[in-house]
Structure 1
């Protein structure tokens, strides 16, 4: 199918984009487009106007600032894959296919908060921070407060996610994923990272309405125990034609055990 008619414009800067959003509340931001365009083709989304921010160089690239790696929101999955970041390159290798990785962006994926996306689990496991900018200024949101629900993040209307701050002091990290064979989205994914203080953070994606930490798993691993089972409640998981809620809960246990053994 073809999308409904829409107006198109390109932002010249972040300030230009913020002003355009303030002037037109119905404006929809597009970056790589791998989430928005399919929805538009199916007429599930019919924005009257699109603002393209993919070309904003100020939102691209990876640099070091103090104890953090700072990743521009328009950095592509392919660039993340080739980087020296902790955990995220492994996760980027699971994203889509080469075409998607060369066009899709890390910021677009995280702000979109798809419950089956890979990066949210990595953000939670690494304790990443999100720099969000609006007309009123800039604020920083921690990963634990970023993902609010299905396709709902802390980025509010009229704001842009500009950068992701990832701690440097991560000594080991892994990502285990059971993916849908056609879409490559996570039916379940588990991310795990050991931080400089020796503590392990772990999170899952794909199994519920949003990515979330795994407190039972973290407690066991940080006490020197095995991952074990019963890490999540089946009643809290999503069930659909691809996997039942109970099966997703089982996959969280299985993938957590694999990830813990790989982490060592």
Structure 2
């Protein structure tokens, strides 16, 4: 099928984009990489009257560390994160997730901000940003504000962005020495949506765990933070027993639904397995 008729705008600045959204209201949709919106439009499941294409807004792309944060522009492609030496060396969790998002075509076009704003519970970006304690910079008619990724992701395909707002960047705290992260994904075939996936970020200080983040993908209505599993790791030596305990707690935190990819019991068990794998890799990367 082909999309319905729509009006197309290609602003070159963020202010122009915001003005267009304000002018057209609920009839307008933002176009980022188009890897989710365009297929929906072709199926007539989405029929915006106006598309505001952000690909010409240069200020929304880029990867840099500054003022104690990693700043990722919302229009930064998944493939850019996959290829970045900075990401690979200091934020391996982000690199892990980028490498298993769909296929090269999607990674070359899809964007970090678009993926988060789409809020697919099976998407590979949300849980990693949750585990990393990331936040999103948002611009809109009321000015700028900041949301944690936990606050941003509301329900399946729903965020807390208000009408006329744009997610402009993602900010991740710079890791300290002794930090490591990993992303483990179970999929039926390469490029498939996750049956289940787990993101882990840990920090070891003076021989014990001083910080831990665990995010779960595709086992609930939105990304899940496994808070009890995180808490169980704090103060531990990150030995095998501590990792196994955290994995059990992460599985208990999941809320999977049975579908063609597996039963609730199977998915919950896979969360346990994937969490343990991710924790082991994260500890190894942290120098443990």
The answer to whether the superposition gives a TM-score over 0.5 is: yes
Q: Is the 8 A contact 2:229 2:250 kept in 1?
A: yes
Query: Counterparts of 1:208 and 1:33 in 2: how far apart (Å)?
Result: 25
Of 155, 179, 182, the residue aligned with 2:187 is 179
1:116 aligns with 2:122: yes
Q: Which of residues 122, 130, 134 in structure 2 aligns to 1:128?
A: 134
Q: Distance in 1 between matches of 2:9 and 2:155?
A: 29
- Residues 1:219 and 2:231 are matched in the alignment: yes
Deviates more, 1:79-88 or 1:159-168: 79-88
Q: Which residue does the alignment assign to 1:249?
A: 268
Asked if the contact 2:12/2:58 (under 8 Å) is kept, the reply is no
Match of 1:210 in 2: 222
Report matched runs for 1:231-246 at 5 Å: 231-233=250-252, 236-246=255-265
C-alpha distance in structure 1 between counterparts of 2:101 and 2:10, whole Å? 26
Measure how far apart 1:135 and its partner are: 1.4
Indicate if the aligned counterparts of 1:234 and 1:248 stay in contact, CA closer than 8 A: no
Contact 1:217-1:227 at 8 Å conserved across structures: no
Counting matched residue pairs gives 264
CA distance in 2, matches of 1:45, 1:174: 35
**CA-CA distance at 1:169 after TM superposition:** 1.6
1:52 alignment partner in structure 2? 53
C-alpha RMSD of the superposition: 1.8
The DSSP-based 3-state class of the residue aligned with 2:72 is strand
Q: Offset of 1:114 from its aligned partner?
A: 0.7
The within-5 A match list for 1:184-199 is 184-195=192-203, 198-199=210-211
* TM-score when normalising by structure 2: 0.86
**Which residue of 2 is the match for residue 41 of structure 1?**
42
CA contact (8 A) 2:59 2:73 kept: yes
Structure 2 contact 103–191 (Cα < 8 Å) conserved? no
Alpha-carbon distance in 1 for matches of 2:37, 2:64: 28
Aligned in 2, Cα 1:232/1:65: closer, same or farther, shift over 3 Å? same
| TM value normalised by structure 1 | 0.94
- Tell me the distance in 2 between the aligned counterparts of 1:46 and 1:125: 34
Partner of 1:263: 282
The CA distance in 2 between the partners of 1:117 and 1:102, in whole Å, is 16
Residue correspondence of structure 1 range 51-130 to structure 2 within 5 A: 51-83=52-84, 84-85=86-87, 86=91, 87-130=93-136
Deviations 1:59-118 (A, max 9, x none): 011122211011110010111112223121111001111111111111100111110001
Deviation at 1:236, TM superposition (A): 2.7
Q: Which runs of 5+ in 2 are unaligned?
A: 284-288
User: After the TM superposition, which parts of structure 1 deviate over 4 Å for at least 4 consecutive aligned residues?
Assistant: none
Contact 1:29 1:52 in 2 (8 A): yes
Which residue matches 2:9?
Answer: 9
Deviates further, 76-85 or 119-128? 76-85
Instruction: Measure, in 1, the Cα distance between the counterparts of 2:199 and 2:278.
Output: 7
1:242 is displaced (CA, Å) by 2.0
Q: Secondary structure at the match of 1:91?
A: helix
Cα contact 2:13–2:57 (8 A) shared by 1: yes
